[in-house]
Amino acid sequence: MAVLKVKFTKTKRCKLAQILWILNWISVITGIILFSLGLFLKVEIRKKNEIMYNREIHSVPNMLIAVGVIACGINFLGGKICYDCSDSNKFHRWKLIMLPYIICTFFFTFCVLVGALMCYTMKNELEESLYLGLKEALKFYKDTDIPGRCFLKKTVDLLQMEFRCCGNNGFRDWFEIQWISMRYLDVSNKEVQDRLKSNVDGKYLMDSVPFSCCNIYSPRPCIQHQLTNNSAHYSYEFQTEELNVWMTGCRQALLEYYMQIMQSIGFTVLIIWLFELSVLTGVRYLQTALENVLLQGDPDSESEGWLLENGFVETARTNFNIIKNLGKSNQINATRHYKAPE
């Protein structure tokens, strides 16, 4: 009992072949779009790789790039096949290849779907990487004289200014680390010595933030130092002040930025997946219709096309038996060889 049987006259077959030819070429273009989306995502992640702990969150963009390239290839071949299928004589060339082609494309569309879903699930890996990376970057903010870390101050400053954020979770992260290098601290000064002695690690901790945390929308000039000390500044209350420094943490700001990109990419890939699936369905119908024409013998006659010759359960059973028999034939050979020496 065939699944979704449709009758095809000769003109209908020709038209289907032509439409599928055009659709396959459009799919080549969507394959290129997939490739460029993957490339774009890779570049965006690379741009900020200094503040990521795990520099290799490249699984999603690599997947998209690979899928895009394979889609181009598959759809290019599909275009050629459909172009030749409008003429029943040329169909002979592709007869043996078409079924394996359809099966391969079917599994390939799974890869496209996986690519789309990965875009949405990358969030946790990214968050972890950003958390650890930012923690390291903040710790090494002061080390502008150590090779390999000397650029971190500039990176963090530019990041905080561009994404309008401060610190890892919030601006208080700056209170817990020493972000002023020892080179610029007068260790002979009593106040400095007091601060250094006041904590276990001997770090110079302050309730201040770097200038890049300053909020440009604040009506008053930025208060960076002695943030928690209300009496140090006129008409200032620390608890209610919200416009002085950026309140968002950089981890959250970056995560939102990347998730926005990923969601749009994921949505586009889902649409491309649906398109690929519909093209695949068309090609399957064309293949079954042309095969039935060959069986009937008359190239101009009407034929039927379907998705599966028998129902789902029967087809699954038949395929399972084929795979079992493949294994069985090896077994019989093995026993024969075993008996032979006697």
Partner 1 sequence: MVLLKVKFPFQRRVKVAQGLWLLSWLATVSGAFIFTLGIFLKSELRKRSEVMDNTEIHAVPNTLIIVGLASVVINFFAGRICQDSLDVARFPRWRGFMVPYFAGAALLALLMLVAVIMSYAMKGNLEESLKIGLKNGIRFYKDTDTPGRCFQKQTIDLLQMEFQCCGNTNFKDWFEVQWISNRYLDYSCKEVKDRIKSNVDGRYLVDGVPFSCCNPSSPRPCIQHQMTNNSAHYNYDYTTEELNVYRRGCREALVSYYMGLMNTIGVVVLLFFLIQMGVLVSLRYLQTAMDGVVGQENTECETEGYILEKGVKETIKLTIQKIAKIFQPNQVQNEQAESAPGTAG
Interacting residues toward partner 1 by CB under 8 A:
144-145, 150, 153-154, 157-158, 161, 179-181, 183-186, 189, 210-212, 214, 216-217, 219-222, 224, 233-235
d(CA 47, CA 176): 27
**3 state DSSP class of 177:** coil
d(CA 226, CA 212): 16
d(CA 27, CA 47): 30
**Residue 160 or 248 with smaller CB distance to partner 1:** 160
Q: Which amino acid is at 35?
A: F
**Residue 191 or 342 with smaller CB distance to partner 1:** 191
Min. distance of Cβ 168 from partner 1 in angstroms? 18
* Helices first, then strands: H and E counts in the chain: 8, 2
CB 112 within 8 A of CB 273: yes
**Residue 102 or 214 with smaller CB distance to partner 1:** 214
d(CA 158, CA 216): 14
Please state the length of the chain. 342
**3 state DSSP class of 323:** helix
DSSP class of residue 308 equals: B
Min. distance of Cβ 180 from partner 1 in angstroms? 5
Torsion of CA 39, 41, 46, 52, to 10 degrees: -150
Min. distance of Cβ 17 from partner 1 in angstroms? 37
Min. distance of Cβ 184 from partner 1 in angstroms? 5
Min. distance of Cβ 217 from partner 1 in angstroms? 6
Quick count: other Cβ atoms within 10 Å of Cβ 315? 14
Min. distance of Cβ 114 from partner 1 in angstroms? 41
**Residue 121 or 229 with smaller CB distance to partner 1:** 229
**Residue 125 or 162 with smaller CB distance to partner 1:** 162
d(CA 216, CA 238): 18
**Residue 2 or 180 with smaller CB distance to partner 1:** 180
Min. distance of Cβ 155 from partner 1 in angstroms? 9
- Give bridge partners of residue 7 from the DSSP assignment: 304
Among residues 94, 120, 166, 125, the alpha carbon closest in space to that of 268 is found at 120
**Residue 144 or 252 with smaller CB distance to partner 1:** 144
